[in-house]
């Protein structure tokens, strides 16, 4: 589906051509998993898979929404006067949530829009299709109504939609990566202060392969919120003996000195993951800056093991993919990416060995899991934007 197909679809559905086109990416995270809500570092990149939005202004204040990803559903009409969450409204809740929080602060959003949405991020694959949609709507509203609002504020509104409107207690990584993405760059983000820098991703003769378990990961019914609570509980116990605001304020060494206070093996393991992952992420940033891909890959492997053994969010599907990837020739490192519990893993693979890599991992996965995995080559792209 290219942009002309999308324009034709828009015209067919809304009986007039679109006025503007927008794109918002998905993301992968190189390393730094489940650290964002623990006040640590993350290291994501926006990818060139994402969500397109074609738009035309209306004269009333109705928002009419259509997604080409769910063609069996009808055109959905949303009125600015009724923006409450409704489970039945499925994907349009993300749009309504953004509208709800953005109209409060921006009275200049005073008219409706016809919006056609099409995404090529595999749905439920943990590549942030929901943050992609939120930031798409954010940038559409910003441009269509000439709002004076920066990317950071848009990311925070997207996070608020997830947390307060949808009910997933996620951190800031996804919205931030989607909004701030830059070609061939990873974003090192301190989630405590939101200070960030771009790091050039030069993989030489290697590629990033995204491996999709094709096991759907539903964040809302997953154990995501439970992990977050376990971390909060460990933090509050540590705070009775040391002055910290977040788990990631600690080094592993400091944690080992104080962990006796937690008195709960599960919570101790969760905290150890967050703290050690934060250290790995900072180290990984330095390694990538120095083009030390080999050591970078090893940290990815360590990250996966910690997510498997301490955070327990990998599961059989992700472990099968990653462990098979580790056995292949030309692989520098592999790990799950995103929340876990299904979704995707990534591997850094030499171009030369790409074909055999995909063939062998595919075969291993099918044999153990019983259905196919999917593979994509990740290109690192720009953040949410109006297309010219």
Work out whether 34 is an interface residue with ligand GLA (CB under 6 A).
yes
Answer yes or no: is 19 a known binding residue: no
8 Å CB contact between 343 and 125: yes
- Residue listed under structure tokens 């009724």: 82
* Nearest distance in Å: CB 171, ligand GLA: 3
Work out whether 33 is an interface residue with ligand GLA (CB under 6 A).
yes
Sign of CA dihedral 262, 265, 267, 270: positive
8 Å CB contact between 320 and 369: yes
Work out whether 170 is an interface residue with ligand GLA (CB under 6 A).
yes
Q: Using CB under 6 A, count the residues that bind ligand GLA.
A: 10
- Residue listed under structure tokens 């330095």: 286
Answer yes or no: is 287 a known binding residue: no
* Nearest distance in Å: CB 243, ligand GLA: 25
* Nearest distance in Å: CB 327, ligand GLA: 25
Answer yes or no: is 24 a known binding residue: no
What residues numbered 95-154 form the site for ligand GLA, per CB under 6 A? none
End-to-end CA distance of the chain: 18
Answer yes or no: is 193 a known binding residue: no
Q: Is 101 helix (H, G, I), strand (E, B) or coil?
A: helix
| 174 is known as an active-site residue | yes
The residue among 42, 35, 47 whose CA lies nearest residue 178 is 47
The interface region with ligand GLA, picked from 13-21, 32-40, 135-143, 320-328 by CB under 6 A, is 32-40
Exactly one of 5, 74, 114, 174 is catalytic; name it. 174
8 Å CB contact between 116 and 10: yes
Alpha helix segments (H runs only) across the chain: 3-14, 92-105, 129-144, 151-160, 173-180, 224-238, 252-258, 265-289, 293-309, 315-327, 354-369
Q: Using CB under 6 A as the criterion, what x/- string covers residues 319-358 for binding ligand GLA?
A: -------------------xx-------------------
Nearer to ligand GLA, 33 or 323 (CB): 33
Answer yes or no: is 162 a known binding residue: yes
- Residue listed under structure tokens 């004076």: 148
Work out whether 18 is an interface residue with ligand GLA (CB under 6 A).
no
Work out whether 37 is an interface residue with ligand GLA (CB under 6 A).
yes
Nearer to ligand GLA, 64 or 304 (CB): 304
8 Å CB contact between 177 and 27: yes
Answer yes or no: is 224 a known binding residue: yes
The interface region with ligand GLA, picked from 31-39, 178-186, 245-253, 355-363 by CB under 6 A, is 31-39
Work out whether 174 is an interface residue with ligand GLA (CB under 6 A).
yes
The residue among 350, 311, 352 whose CA lies nearest residue 333 is 350
Annotated binding residues for ATP: 67, 124-130
> Binding residues for ligand GLA, per CB under 6 A?
33-34, 36-37, 170-171, 173-174, 338-339
Q: Which residues are catalytic?
A: 174
């Amino acid at each position: 589906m290219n942009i002309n197909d999308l324009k034709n679809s828009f015209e067919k559905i809304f009986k007039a051509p679109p006025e503007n086109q927008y794109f918002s990416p998905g993301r992968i995270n190189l390393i730094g998993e489940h650290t964002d809500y623990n006040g640590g570092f993350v290291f994501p990149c926006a990818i060139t898979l994402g969500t397109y939005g074609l738009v035309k202004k209306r004269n009333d204040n109705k928002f009419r929404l259509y997604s080409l990803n769910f063609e069996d559903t009808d055109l959905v009409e949303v009125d600015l006067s009724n923006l409450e969450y409704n489970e039945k409204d499925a994907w349009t809740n993300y749009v309504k949530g953004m509208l709800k929080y953005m109209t409060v602060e921006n009275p200049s959003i005073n008219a409706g829009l016809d919006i056609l949405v099409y995404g090529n991020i595999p749905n439920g694959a943990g590549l942030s299709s929901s943050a992609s949609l939120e930031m798409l709507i954010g940038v559409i509203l910003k441009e269509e109504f000439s709002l004076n609002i920066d990317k950071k504020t848009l990311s925070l509104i997207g996070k608020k939609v997830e947390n307060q409107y949808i009910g997933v207690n996620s951190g800031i990584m996804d919205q931030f990566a989607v909004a701030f993405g830059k070609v061939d760059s990873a974003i090192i983000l301190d989630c405590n202060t939101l200070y960030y820098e771009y790091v050039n991703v030069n993989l030489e003769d290697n590629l990033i392969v995204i491996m999709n378990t094709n096991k759907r990961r539903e964040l809302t019914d997953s154990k995501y919120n439970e992990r977050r609570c376990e971390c909060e509980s460990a933090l509050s116990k540590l705070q009775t003996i040391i002055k910290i605001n977040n788990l990631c304020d600690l080094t592993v060494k400091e944690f080992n000195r104080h962990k006796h206070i937690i008195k709960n093996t599960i919570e101790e393991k969760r905290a150890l993951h967050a703290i050690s992952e934060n250290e790995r992420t900072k180290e990984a940033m330095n390694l990538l800056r120095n083009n030390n891909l080999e050591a970078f890959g090893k940290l990815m492997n360590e990250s996966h093991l910690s997510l498997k053994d301490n955070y327990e969010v990998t599961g059989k599907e992700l472990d099968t993919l990653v462990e098979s990837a580790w056995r292949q020739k030309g692989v520098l490192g592999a790990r799950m990416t995103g929340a876990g519990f299904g979704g995707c893993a990534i591997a850094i693979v030499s171009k030369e060995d790409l074909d055999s890599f995909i063939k062998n991992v595919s075969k291993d996965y099918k044999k153990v899991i019983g259905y196919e995995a999917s593979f994509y080559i990740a290109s690192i792209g720009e953040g949410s934007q109006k297309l010219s």
